[in-house]
Amino acid sequence: MTDPVALFRAMADETRWRIIRLVMERALCVCELADILEMPQSSVSSHVQIIRKAELLESETCGKWTYFRICGSRLVLLKALLKSFPGNETHAQDTDRAAARLARRESSCCPGPVKLASSHTTQQK
């Protein structure tokens, strides 16, 4: 189990909280997250590493891309937290941008994950 301080530190930043929400059900790479968040890849990568060190993410490497998604073991905890903190306008905008970005995945530089392609709900059935 992760250190609770590292866990809450990972969630205590607005950008990291946005990333956590985005990778809750789907795997995204850093370049996709950067597009969605409208931030430089280097900044997004730094935030992802903090979330990763808190043991909240699972990953899959496909070629030169690494895809990240919330670990199944952390999903119940994070979904419970999300119920207490409903989305806001920023979350709605992130969700819209994520849908648009994923619609372009096949024609973009990112091939998409294989192992993490299915949602957590599909894996739990």
DSSP 3-19: -HHHHHHHHSSHHHHHH
Q: Please give the backbone phi and psi of residue 69, each rounded to the nearest 5 degrees, phi first.
A: -150, 155
The pTM of the full predicted model, rounded to 2 decimals, is 0.86
- Structure confidence by residue, pLDDT tens digits, 24-37: 989 999 999 999 99
Give me the residue spans of the domains in the chain: 4-106
Tell me if 45 sits within 8 A of 35, measured CB to CB. Answer: no
- Lowest mean pLDDT across 10-14, 66-70, 76-80: 76-80
- For residues 62-85, give the mean pLDDT: 89
- For residues 37-55, give the mean pLDDT: 96
User: Is CATH 1.10.10.10 correct for 4-106?
Assistant: yes
